[in-house]
Amino acid sequence: MSKKIRRRDFIRSTAAAGLVLSSPKAFKGGAPAVLIQGVKPAVISSANGNHFKNGGNETCVQKAFRLMTAGTDVLDALIEGVNILELDPEEDSVGYGGLPNAEGVVQLDSSCMHGPKKRAGAVAALEGVRTPSRVAKAVMENTDHHLLVGHGAQQFARDMGFTIEDDLNTKHSRELWLEWKRRTDPSHYLDPKSRAELWRREGLKMIREGLIREEHFYGTINCDGVNSKGEICGVTTTSGLSWKIPGRVGDSPILGAGLYVDGAVGAAGSTGRGEANLYNLCSFLIVEEMRRGAHPKDAGMEALRRIKANTIEKRLLNSRGLPNFGINFYVLNARGEHAGVSMYEGAKYAVCTDAGPQTLPCEALLQGKPD
């Protein structure tokens, strides 16, 4: 495609998003130098991105923002940020020590997208590597593909020089898995009258008993950033749904679901019930809403309304006839405006700007709790 056409396309898409182009430049290394006036650099993430981890003195959003504003490539900065959580043995929703699947095996999902370079990479059901986000980036940089899964993803990681470990469980994650195993029949196929219900009930009981935090039954980090040049990237990484059927892949590694970035428009990512997001491809939907001019909050709300409208199975509804699960979206546009939105009240998201790191409430679609 010629530069002329690219420039015209770019102007069309940025104009739709209400952005001002100051001077489109020649592309270096295939990456458009997108200059947008009035960008407020920002890094946003799920709330766990503003928790101190592993005895460190910087949170994920702080670190990513510091690196990004010092000139590090936006995606590299975000991945450095989420690595803090992936490597923390006490963070049981991401990376090393993430809660395992029904057979006690930690299987990790991750995706990343680079707005300016228009490239993406992802891995799913990856075993044995503590930092799946780095493997996702290696897929982006070293292959013609967007998604590698399971054994193939692990073999690729080995070939790229990643350390492969036999078991990513920590004492904590294995003990919780054993507790769950003790309570349930290890069958996970949908049978509302018995086993699927038992699986859910026991999982929820473990949350109520304080053994697992609700956000860790599901649990993920999505992190998105835009620098002063308007360059936008995003990454999502997770151990996925606790006690999942081996091989289950959630929304996190699926482009358009757990993450979507359009370098001229914005980024969106998700945590929560991945199946609801996969059915509706909400991150893509949110970015498209922003392309048509919607503010990040309104774009995110539209996705939640779509999920609510498409949730009709009885087993997924509470006594009020509403979705009985939580799901959140983190949304950033090319000007640095952002929002966190959630199906129910109480969720939060993290943001770091020149004003420093903050944890802010998500805007909720529905009142009360999922159950």
Q: Note if 163 is an active site residue.
A: no
* 283 φ/ψ sector (left φ>0, alpha ψ -120 to 50, else beta): alpha
Alpha-carbon distance of 127 to 138, in angstroms, equals 16
Length of the chain: 371
Cβ distance to ligand ASP smaller for residue 148 or 264: 148
Q: Taking CB under 6 A as the rule, does residue 241 contact ligand ASP? A: yes
Amino acid at 336: G
Q: Taking CB under 6 A as the rule, does residue 238 contact ligand ASP? A: yes
Q: Taking CB under 6 A as the rule, does residue 311 contact ligand ASP? A: no
Minimum gap (Å) between residue 240 Cβ and ligand ASP: 4
Q: Hey, which residues between 142 and 161 contact ligand ASP (CB under 6 A)? A: none
Sheet with 266-272, strands from edge to edge, namely 259-262, 266-272, 327-333, 338-344, 363-366
Query: b/e string for 307-322 if b means 16 or more Cβ within 10 A?
Result: bbeebeeeeeeeeeeb
Minimum gap (Å) between residue 357 Cβ and ligand ASP: 21
Q: Are 135 and 128 in contact (CB under 8 A)?
A: no
Cβ distance to ligand ASP smaller for residue 218 or 284: 218
* Annotated catalytic residue within 220, 236, 237, 271: 220
Cβ distance to ligand ASP smaller for residue 132 or 240: 240
Q: Taking CB under 6 A as the rule, does residue 271 contact ligand ASP? A: yes
Residue recorded with tokens 């059901």: 125
Using CB under 6 A, pick the residue from 81, 98, 121, 240 that binds ligand ASP. 240
Residues 6+ positions from 13 with CB-CB distance below 8 Å: 262, 264, 265, 291
Q: Taking CB under 6 A as the rule, does residue 100 contact ligand ASP? A: no
Cβ distance to ligand ASP smaller for residue 65 or 325: 325
Binding mask 218-237 for ligand ASP (x = CB under 6 A): xxx-----------------
Q: Taking CB under 6 A as the rule, does residue 111 contact ligand ASP? A: no
Alpha-carbon distance of 115 to 117, in angstroms, equals 6
Q: Taking CB under 6 A as the rule, does residue 14 contact ligand ASP? A: no
* 215 φ/ψ sector (left φ>0, alpha ψ -120 to 50, else beta): alpha
HSE-up of residue 3 (Cα within 13 Å, Cβ side): 10
Stretch that binds ligand ASP, among 53-61, 160-168, 238-246, 291-299 (CB under 6 A): 238-246
Active-site amino acid positions: 220
Q: Which residues bind ligand ASP (CB under 6 A)?
A: 218-220, 238, 240-241, 250-252, 271-272, 274
